[in-house]
Amino acid sequence: MTTAAAPATPTTAAPAKIAVVYYSATGSVHALAAALAEGAAKTGAEVRLLRVAELAPDEALDANPAWRAHADATRDVPVATLDDLRWADAYAFGTPTRYGNVSSQLKQFLDSTGGLWASGVFTDKPVTGFVSTSNPHGGNESTLLALYNTMYHWGTLIVPPGFTSPTVSAAGGNPYGTTFVSGRGDLGEETLAAARYQGERLATLTVRLLVGAQAKESAG
């Protein structure tokens, strides 16, 4: 299969604004989010790395040392708001799988966006997703597909990594979005590289759309 690197980023009057919004319990999705944000920033994009609010009670976190440790370690990561979604030109959403579906924490945030959707905030904006599970058949693809259901209703433009770079194949070859199997150990460089590429691809295509919109506006 022939693959291609991310296309060159065209120039625009202002950098693309990318919101990377995620939920992570023990750190895997957070690491993917940080790598994706890094890839987007590489293009010159302005990036906001944002977590959604934790819904689980303290008792649940305290019963799982890894969950508690990650929550404490990421307290300084800003919590996503609807204003962040208004601000952004494009989005990346990340979640661990929950029975093959989106985590309740991220889903609650998505479910709060009805007013933005009704006012057309999301229309024609690029979006992509990334996921982690604990085992190879734990629902990576079904969770991404479930996540994208919201994006279809929003009228956003889904930007999957596809098989557009060797980094996708090297990381396991998921064309729907970067995924990680936490039960196999720590995140490797191949998976992080795939996440960076996904962020770079999202930002690059966002700039192309912005340049096109500016050219159309200039032409009257």
Structural domain boundaries of the chain? 17-219
Longest CA–CA span in the chain (Å) reads: 60
Cα–Cα distance measured from residue 178 to residue 193, given in angstroms and rounded to the nearest whole number: 10
Cα–Cα distance measured from residue 156 to residue 123, given in angstroms and rounded to the nearest whole number: 5
The confidence score (pLDDT) of residue 154 equals 98
- The superfamily (CATH) of domain 17-219 is Flavodoxin domain (3.40.50.360)
pLDDT of 134 > 80? The answer is yes
Cα–Cα distance measured from residue 177 to residue 133, given in angstroms and rounded to the nearest whole number: 13
pLDDT of 2 > 70? The answer is no
pTM metric for this prediction: 0.91
pLDDT of 100 > 60? The answer is yes
Residue 172, C-beta contacts closer than 8 angstroms, at least 6 positions apart: 179, 191, 194
Which one-letter DSSP state was computed for residue 220? -
Residue 201 identity (one-letter amino acid): R
Tell me: the pLDDT tens digits for 161-202?
Answer: 999 999 888 888 889 999 998 877 778 899 999 999 999 999
Burial class (CB in 10 A: 0-12, 13-18, 19+), 81: middle
Cα–Cα distance measured from residue 22 to residue 77, given in angstroms and rounded to the nearest whole number: 11
Tell me: the pLDDT tens digits for 3-14?
Answer: 555 555 455 557
Helices (H), 119-179: 140-154, 166-170
Helix (H, G, I), strand (E, B) or coil at 50: strand
Tell me: the pLDDT tens digits for 23-77?
Answer: 999 999 999 999 999 999 999 999 999 999 999 999 999 999 999 999 999 999 9
pLDDT of 87 > 60? The answer is yes
Element (H, E) at 74: none
- The CA–CA distances, whole Å, from 126 to 17, 59, 104, 129, 159 equal 11, 38, 23, 11, 6
